[in-house]
Amino acid sequence: MKIVEPLSLTIAKTLADLLEDSISSISLDVLAYKLNATSGDVRKVIESFSQKGLVRLVDNQIYLTEEGQSKVA
């Protein structure tokens, strides 16, 4: 049986990988594609991260905030 991790954890790991590659933003659609998830599901997680101050979502572009960068680093 395959163990599946929560989408929020997968997204957090992906954002951490982006930070390691010195990338501080990514398109919502590109992130959804990379994770083989729907944009709607990814948007829900990103909006919850945004409410916590970890990211900003502007015109479908996800930006890591300074607080978000320190949390995922």
Residue 42 to residues 17, 49, 57, 65: CA-CA distances in angstroms?
17, 11, 11, 18
CB-CB contact of 8 with 46 (8 Å)? no
Q: pLDDT tens, 22-53?
A: 888 899 999 999 999 999 999 999 999 999 99
What is the residue-averaged pLDDT of the chain? 89
Helix/strand/coil for 61: strand
Please give the domain boundaries of the chain with CATH numbers for all domains. Answer: 7-72 (1.10.10.10)
**Residue 16 half-sphere exposure toward CB, CA atoms < 13 A:** 10
The dihedrals phi and psi of 27, each to the nearest 5 degrees, come to: -70, 140
**Does 71 have pLDDT greater than 80?**
no
Q: Note the pLDDT of residue 73.
A: 60
- Report the pLDDT averaged over residues 54-59: 94
CB-CB contact of 40 with 48 (8 Å)? no
